[in-house]
Amino acid sequence: MVIGTRLAVLAPLPALAAIVVDEEHDASYKQQEGVRYSARDLAIVAASQRKVPIVLGSATPSLESWHAARRGRYGLLALPERVGGAQLPGLERIDLRGRTLRHQLAPESIDAIEAALARGEQALVFINRRGYAPVLACESCGWLSRCSECSAYRVLHRVAPMRTSRSARYRLVCHHCSAEQPVPRTCPDCGNVDLSALGRGTQRLEEGLAELFPDRRIARLDRDVARTRGAAQKVIDAAHAGDVDILVGTQMLAKGHDFRRLTVVVAVDSDGGLFSSDFRAPERMFATLMQVAGRAGRDRAAPPGRVIVQTRFPDHPLFEYLARHDYAGFADSQLAERREVGLPPYRFQALLRAEATTQAEALAFLARAREIGEALQSQATPRGLARASAGALRDDAVALLDPVPMAMSRLAGRERAQLLVEANARPPLHAFLRDWLAALRELRSQVRWQLDVDPLEI
């Protein structure tokens, strides 16, 4: 038996009898740099070539897999009952609009944590942002801690304990290019000495919880903690042993741990995925909240746990489905939306990304690539060129959209742009990509480019 992450799919196993892909919806199955491949999809191909069964396991399957099961291409094996027979926790929505919060927590959330702790139980406070605060700002001139290399803000991180001087206690870190700098003593633009931390990450939430619950044992788990070897396991072991009252952290806490005495989960800020420009954001958010919620009340003997979602959009349909633990309803509603606007799994996509010193160079390269692609297309489909417009794409054709700057247009000092290619079926897309790639390789260009089939980030 071979157990492993992505690369395990390539292990040579002459007597392979079955493949199991656990948490098949997890985006980390897709390698996002170097050779871009999806280990889950490779496993599916391997199983079909070797004629062995494959099981894709998940409480919140990817919409691609769910769609295949709905159409009968995959068999659906449902496990409707919770392990151990424990009841599913109830979901409560707290409307944050017009509320006074203490350290980002509504009074109801604080009361729920208090009550659980008084009964000798544990609480988990979830926020999907690590660091102290997402941005440092000057209130007098509007300066923000922008990264000089990326179109992103540098995040304030606490790197030393409270007793050290303010300038030694914090650093500014870019989560995209990892560039770091000391916190400026005064505003670089206007000299104002009062710079303020905007918003909250795990570290600041941990600090706030320590103030609200001064006698309780609080532990934090996020990627920064996990960087120290063995530290993440130490936090998890301590929580299991009952040496932690309140756990605070990112979705690292959501994965698979079974905290028997945990009865209250508070999701501090759940709105990030509701109105994102990334069409996969609601799917990811639903999966994360489902997983986080699944941490509460796993003990059959204990009362069902409470899951509190703090939000400014309590009536959003996503929360309705979540409250009913209705993955199927949520997934089907998402599929209906995607069918209407022509998104995967109803369309197949490939993304050509280009990076250069200037945005103009990157866009010019993609414009040239598009011309080449359209010329190839008109040879292949003499009846005329398929233009990309919703629903108007012919089944044997491929559509090349306009080159545009990427959502994060600058990363580590390079300007980035992208060109999306779409098709209603895989065979024409892949036939096109083969010829197109060959032609693109002929281009002598200083621009760095790569082609990503089934991109996860657009």
- Chain residues that interact with Zn ion, rule: CB under 5 A: 138, 141, 143, 147, 149-150, 174, 176-177, 179, 187, 189-190, 192
Closest distance to Zn ion from the beta carbon of 204 (Å): 21
Give the nearest distance from C-beta 135 to Zn ion in angstroms.
13
C-beta closer to Zn ion: residue 143 or 313: 143
Closer to Zn ion by CB, 150 or 356: give it.
150
Enumerate the β-bridge partners of residue 452.
Answer: 351
Tokens of 303: 């009362």
Separation of alpha carbons 138 and 192, rounded Å: 7
Q: Are 98 and 136 in contact (CB under 8 A)?
A: no
* Residue closer to Zn ion (CB basis): 192 or 251: 192
Query: Which residue, 174 or 290, has its beta carbon nearer to Zn ion?
Result: 174
> 236: burial class by Cβ within 10 Å (0-12, 13-18, 19+)?
buried
- Region of 450 on the Ramachandran plot (φ > 0 left; ψ -120 to 50 alpha; else beta): beta
Rounded least distance, CB 224 to Zn ion, Å: 17
Taking the complex as a whole, how short is the minimal distance between the CB of residue 199 and Zn ion, in angstroms?
18
b (16+ CB within 10 A) / e for 147-170: bebbbbbbbbbbbeeeeeeeeebb
Decide whether 82 or 223 has the Cβ nearer to Zn ion. Answer: 223
Q: Which is nearer to Zn ion, 189 or 371 (CB)?
A: 189
Distance of closest approach, residue 116 Cβ to Zn ion, in angstroms: 39
Smallest separation, CB 171 to Zn ion (Å): 14
- Least Å distance between CB 205 and Zn ion? 24
Instruction: Compute CA distances 127 → 131, 247, 358, 395, whole Å.
Output: 11, 11, 36, 43
Distance CA 271, CA 259 (A): 26
311 three-class SS: strand
Quick check: 69 and 285 in contact, CB under 8 A? Answer: no
| Dihedral sign (CA 80, 84, 90, 94) | negative
Beta bridge partners of 379: none
Region of 51 on the Ramachandran plot (φ > 0 left; ψ -120 to 50 alpha; else beta)? left
CB of 193 to Zn ion, least distance (A): 10
The DSSP bridge pattern shows strands 180-182 and 155-158 to be unpaired
Least distance in angstroms from the C-beta of 222 to Zn ion: 19
Q: Which is nearer to Zn ion, 180 or 340 (CB)?
A: 180
Nearer to Zn ion, 133 or 285 (CB): 133
Cβ closest to Zn ion, residue 381 vs residue 409: 409
Calculate the alpha carbon distances from 126 to 182, 218, 223, 272, 340 in Å.
Answer: 28, 13, 14, 13, 34
